[in-house]
Amino acid sequence: MMRPTQSTDLKKIANLRLTPNQVPYVLLAPFILLFLIFGLFPLCFSLFLAFQTWEPTSGLATMQFVGLENFIFTLEDEWFWKSLQNTFWLALVSGLPQHLIAIPLACVIHASFKRTRNAVVGAYFLPYITSTVAIAMMFSTLFSTDYGLINQALSLVSQLPFVGELFPNQATDWLGRAQNIKPAIATVVFWRYVGFNTVLYLAALQTIPKYMYEAATMDGANRWQQFWYITLPNLKPMIYFGVTLSLIGGLQLFEEPFILTNGTGGTDQSGMTTAMYMYRTAFEFNDFGTASALSWLLFLCVALLTWLTNCAFKSRGGSA
């Protein structure tokens, strides 16, 4: 072994010369530390909390194990079932149209837009990156009962001949009446995420080889047949992925209903989602144990539905 001179010794210390074996640990250390404390530990701790009860005012010392009590309490709670119903309704009504619109939209943009493509995609995508609070505030004014823009537009349309009959000519109380809150929330959610899905489908469309369409044209397939027999089957993996994302996101919907109903859940709790109910159980009713149990029950629903979607896509793939 060569003896390094003192000056290179110092240099080496200054350079913190690590062996390649040590490097990954040093590089990963800060990330792993944060991940363990703020990522992994809370998850495990949450499961622990779901089986405990304690007085928040007297601290964690009063914590005691209560078995399944928190879960049973939640399962017997009317508001839990109501919130779950709201959540499913919203996930379906805001989620399904996103894909029914995004797929044809992506096809049209893919086929007909070249120079203006980025601008058009940008316009549809923009709501996805803006603040939910700003969006919800904006829609609150638009949905306003007496002079809101949406009601004024509806009353204008209702005066048209023929089609007018389909639209209400009286001002609709969107965010006040129980039956209207969910459609209003679903509208906002749809508006916010439809562009994101369009971008997903555009990316998938680019991977479909052109020769497939050329061959189909030569065989005399019309546009509709091409869409049905080439585009749609090729989009299937992305539809599966997009629907799963919408499902996972939709079932944990929190911000839009929370802000649109001013944190209350709206008249008759008809805009209260399960994630929102969990937040209120924890921070309004100060029951962290029950709230943790509630969050795990919601997680079970998400996992179950994700798995069912997976099965549905797989079985249809097998028969086709």
Segment 3 to 32, residues that bind another protein, using CB under 8 A: 12, 15-25, 27-28, 30-32
Eight-class DSSP state of 162: T
Minimum gap (Å) between residue 19 Cβ and another protein: 8
Residue 123 binds another protein (CB under 8 A)? yes
**What would you report as the CA-atom Rg of the chain, rounded to the nearest whole angstrom?**
27
Which CB sits closer to another protein, 40 or 319? 40
Which two tokens mark 258? Answer: 């929370």
Which CB sits closer to another protein, 111 or 311? 111
Contacts of 63 by beta carbon, 8 Å cutoff, 6+ apart: 52, 53, 54
d(CA 94, CA 246): 9
By CB under 8 A, what part of segment 200-259 binds another protein? 200, 203, 237-238, 241-242, 245, 248, 251-252, 254-255, 259
Query: E strands, the chain, where?
Result: 52-53, 64-65
Contacts of 305 by beta carbon, 8 Å cutoff, 6+ apart: 247, 251
Stretch that binds another protein, among 70-78, 79-87, 157-165, 271-279 (CB under 8 A): 271-279
Residue 134 binds another protein (CB under 8 A)? yes
Minimum gap (Å) between residue 299 Cβ and another protein: 6
Cα dihedral sign for 260, 262, 268, 274? positive
Which CB sits closer to another protein, 214 or 319? 214
| CB burial readout 155-164, b (16+ within 10 A) else e | beeeeeeeee
Residue 133 binds another protein (CB under 8 A)? yes
By CB under 8 A, what part of segment 30-59 binds another protein? 30-32, 34-35, 37-43, 45-46, 49
Query: Which of 81, 228, 229, 283 is the binder for another protein (CB under 8 A)?
Result: 283
Query: Which of 62, 130, 169, 286 is the binder for another protein (CB under 8 A)?
Result: 130
